[in-house]
Structure 1
Amino acid sequence: MAKHETPLLDQLESGPWPSFVTDLKQQAATKPECWDILGILELSFKDRITHWKHGGIVGVFGYGGGIVGRYADVPELFPGVEHFHTVRVAQPSSKYYSSANLRQLCDLWEKHGSGVTNMHGSTGDIILLGTRTENLEPFFWDLTHDMNQDLGGSGSNLRTPANCIGESRCEWSCYDTEEACYKLTMQYQDEIHRPAFPYKFKFKFSGCPNDCVAAIARSDISVIGTWKDDIRIDQAAVKEYIAGNYPSNGGAHSGRDWGKFDITKEVIDLCPTNCMWMEGGELKIDNSECTRCMHCINVMPRALRPGAEKGASVLVGAKAPILDGAQFSTLVLPFIPMSADNDFEELVEFIEKVWDWWMEVGKNRERVGETMQRVGLPTFIKVMELEPIPQMVKEPRSNPYVFWAEEEVEGGFERDVEEFRAKHAA
């Protein structure tokens, strides 16, 4: 395959950062189809439209997901990318790899595909970019039999679950994110590989409210570690921070000297609910007002720790802008235990209850957050058989009219009248 002139793409090599254009040119020495990758991208830059078209139904036998079909719409110009399918491979929990595993995977992709990889897709999958239809089955055979790895999710199904590093390396993690991710990935293999949902569905596991996998912004069910009791305080360490003997933020200052640590300016005044103050030389926290933002813990990690009664908050409905605008997930379960001993039973029951409702009332290509938005949060809460709490309220009510269900009005009104009469009769 001939080398193409790519003056527009070549500009991307002129900046201070490493360029994928340079990488593709190097790859073309052993994989000539990479010249056609550059050529078709140059044409897309010139025409300002994509020259890739979706491949429709293409995949491996028995699986409805894991392969994203792609074909060039100008194959006569770029025959090397006439077929250019993407393969999604499920990543290990927390993305821990051995060098031997990565080498084996790269060798496999050099054998069956273009050798071009993306580590990782936004969902977390290992993304292998570019192969022909006839190579899919041989690649899949080698992946599953030689490497004991599987495809991830694509299409209207459960996407590959993802998690933060959790208790393996992070002292703030409030539950075992790796075990939760692994257990639910194994449990829902059918939902990952055989699309049956109205649209895609993701759940992600963050061990603490720092939410290092951005679950609250992009997953249909966000499982975010939290604690139920009080933040643990080491008052002696607080004094050391104030005295300047411990570096704040774990010493992460990007090389800049910010001056002497000021607990009022850097911690207390930045608390979103003003629930912290100094009294008698000690740091005080009104834990009933704490929203678990993690700021104070991040700034003074030696002095403050999450509480001892740990679990997770479950939020529902985040997504990127597809049918509607982007939205964060909504708090639905403030606290549930997260024990691997019972296979995360409470979380599993909730997930399947959401699925049962969404698969019945959700429209085609409608994420669960959009279904919630369409029918209203009160309806969702009622279907989930949950008690509403103030934390579920997104913004103050702007509609002056209040609508009551008939069964709520009759019994509730009569009960209120009886209680009023009894109180004043006394």
Structure 2
Amino acid sequence: MAKHDTPLLDELEKGPWPSFVTDMKRQAETHPECWDILGQLELSYKDKITHWKHGGIVGVFGYGGGIVGRYSDVPHRFPGVEHFHTVRIAQPSGLYYSTKNLRGLMDLWDKYGSGMTNMHGSTGDMIFLGTRTENLEPLFWDLTHNLEQDLGGSGSNLRTPSCCLGESRCEWACYDTQDVCHHLTMHYQDEIHRPAFPYKFKFKFSGCPNDCVASIARSDFALIGTWKDDIRINQAAVKEYIAGNYPSNAGAHAGRDWGKFDIKKEVIDLCPTGCMWMEGGELKIDNAECTRCMHCINVMPRALKPGKEKGATICIGAKAPILDGAQFATMVIPFIEVSKENEYENVIDVIEQVWDWWMEVGKNRERVGETMQRIGLPNFLRVMEIEATPQHVREPRSNPYVFWREEEVEGGWERDVVAFRKKHAA
């Protein structure tokens, strides 16, 4: 395969930043099909349209997901990318790879594909970029039998669950993210590999409210670690921060003089609910008003820690802007215990309750968050058997009408009124 003139792409090699164009040219020295990728991309820049065909189903025997079909619409000009399928590889929890494992994966891709990868983009998986249809079955055999690794999810199914490092390295983790992620990956193998949903569905697991995998913005089901009791305070350490003996932000800004630490300016005044103050030389927190934003803990990690009664918050319905605008997940369950002892049955119950509803009322290619918007949050909460709280209200009601369900009017409502009158008769 010949090199192509790529004046537009060559512009992307200028400047101080690393360039994917340079990487692809280097890769083309051993995988000539990469010249055709560059040539087709240059043509797309000129024509201002993609030259990948839309649609196309391709996979391996027994699996409906894991491989994304890619076909060029100008194969006569760029035969190296006539077929250029994307293969998703299920990542280990927390992205802990051994060097041996990584070398095995790279050797496999050099053998069967272009050698190009996308390491853990928004999908979560490791992505193998570019191979032909006839290479898929032998690649899959070697991957599963020799490396004992699996394909990830693609299509209208459960996508490969992903998580932060959790308790393996983070002192703020409120549950074992890696164990939950691994357990649910094993538990839902059928849902990952055989698409049966209205559209894609993503789990992401963050150990604390810092949400290092951005689960609240990128997943249909976000399990975010939290605590139920009070923030733990080491008052002696607070004094050390105020005195300047401990670096704030865990020393993250070493090398630059940010001036003397000011607890009022840098912590108390930045609390979103104003629930902190100094009194008698001690830091006070009104924990009932705390929203677990983690700012104070991040700034003064030696002085403040999450509470001891740990669990997670469940948020549902985030998505990127495809059919409708981007949206964050909605907080549905403020606190749930996350326990290995019961194999996360309570979390699984919530997941399957969501699925049962969504698979019944969701439209084709409609994410669960879009179904929630269309049907309405009150209806969703009713199906989930969750009592609405003020935090579920986006804005005050702007019309004068009140609607009652039949069961609230006939019997239930009257009983409440009678009971109230009896209670306050005196």
* Pairwise TM-score range, normalised by the shorter structure: over 0.9
What's the CA shift for 1:412? 4.4
CA distance in 1, matches of 2:50, 2:178: 38
Instruction: Report the equivalent of 1:268.
Output: 268
Higher mean displacement: 118-127 or 273-282:
118-127
The match for 2:289 is 289
Letter of the 2:400 partner, please give it: P
Paired residue for 1:372?
372
The 1:407–1:28 alpha-carbon spacing in structure 2 relative to 1, beyond 3 Å, is: same
Q: Which residue of 2 aligns with 1:76?
A: 76
SS at match of 2:283: strand
Letter in structure 2 aligned against 1:271: C
Q: Alignment RMSD, CA only?
A: 1.1
SS in 1 for 2:71: strand
Amino acid at match of 2:376: G
Q: Could you tell me how far apart the structure 2 residues matched to 1:250 and 1:62 are? A: 50
Q: Which amino acid aligns with 1:314?
A: I
Structure 1 residue 184: deviation in Å? 0.1
Aligned counterparts of 2:397 and 2:139: Cα–Cα separation in 1: 55
Per-residue CA deviations over 1:78-131 (Å, capped at 9, x if unaligned) read 001000000000000010111111111111001000000110131210100000
Deviates more, 1:314-323 or 1:202-211: 314-323
The DSSP-based 3-state class of the residue aligned with 1:322 is coil
SS in structure 1 at match of 2:333: strand
323-332 vs 238-247, which moves further: 323-332
Q: Amino acid of the residue matched to residue 64 of structure 1? A: G
Distance 1:38 1:417 in 2: 73
Give, in angstroms, the shift of residue 386 of structure 1: 1.1
Q: How many residues align?
A: 426
Other-structure match for 1:222: 222
Counterpart CA distance in 2 for 1:23 and 1:193 is: 32
Structure 1 position 400, deviation (Å):
2.5
Match of 2:406 in 1: 406
Which moves more between the two structures, 316-325 or 59-68?
316-325
Shift of 1:396: 2.2
Structure 1 residues 419 and 260: CA distance shift in structure 2, 3 A: same
| Partner AA of 2:76 in structure 1 | E
Q: Judge conservation of contact 1:123–1:162 (CA < 8 Å) in 2.
A: no
Using the alignment, how far apart are the partners of 2:421 and 2:61 within structure 1?
71
Written as runs of structure 1 = structure 2, the 5 A alignment for 1:14-413 is 14-253=14-253, 255-413=255-413
5+ residue gaps, structure 1, are none
Deviations, residues 378-411 of structure 1 (Å, cap 9, x unaligned): 0000011111111222222223222111211233
Q: Residue by residue, what CA displacement relative to the aligned partner does 1:47-75 show, whole Å, maximum 9, x if unpaired?
A: 11000113511010010000000000000
- TM-score, normalised to structure 1's length? 0.98
Conserved in 2, the CA contact under 8 Å of 1:51 and 1:73? yes
Query: Which amino acid is 1:309 matched to?
Result: E
Amino acid at match of 1:167: E
Q: Distance in 1 between matches of 2:180 and 2:83?
A: 37
Quick one: distance in 2 between partners of 1:313 and 1:173?
13
- 1:253 is displaced (CA, Å) by 1.6
**Can you list the C-alpha shifts for 1:243-270, whole angstroms capped at 9, x where unaligned?**
0000000011264321100000000011
The answer to whether the 8 A contact 1:55-1:68 is kept is: no
2:269 maps to a residue whose letter is D
- Which amino acid in structure 2 is aligned with residue 312 of structure 1? A
Question: In 2, distance between residues paired with 1:192 and 1:254?
Answer: 44
Q: Which runs of 5+ in 2 are unaligned?
A: none
In structure 2, relative to structure 1, the CA distance for the partners of 1:423 and 1:170 (3 Å cut) is closer
In 1, the alpha carbon distance for the partners of 2:417 and 2:379 equals 27
SS at match of 2:226: strand
Given that residues 54 and 69 in structure 1 are in contact (C-alpha distance below 8 angstroms), is that contact kept between their aligned partners in structure 2? Answer: no
Letter in 1 for 2:351: I
Give secondary structure in 1 for the equivalent of 2:53: strand
Q: Show structure 1 runs of 4+ deviating over 6 A.
A: none
Query: Which residue identity is paired with 1:328?
Result: F
* Greater mean deviation of Cα atoms: 27-36 or 255-264: 255-264
SS at match of 2:341: helix
What residue identity is the alignment partner of 1:72? S
Letter in 2 for 1:340: K
**8 Å Cα contact 1:167-1:176 kept in structure 2:** yes
SS at match of 2:43: helix
With the length of structure 2 as denominator, give the TM-score of the two structures.
Answer: 0.98
Task: State, as a whole percentage, how many aligned pairs show the same letter.
Answer: 80
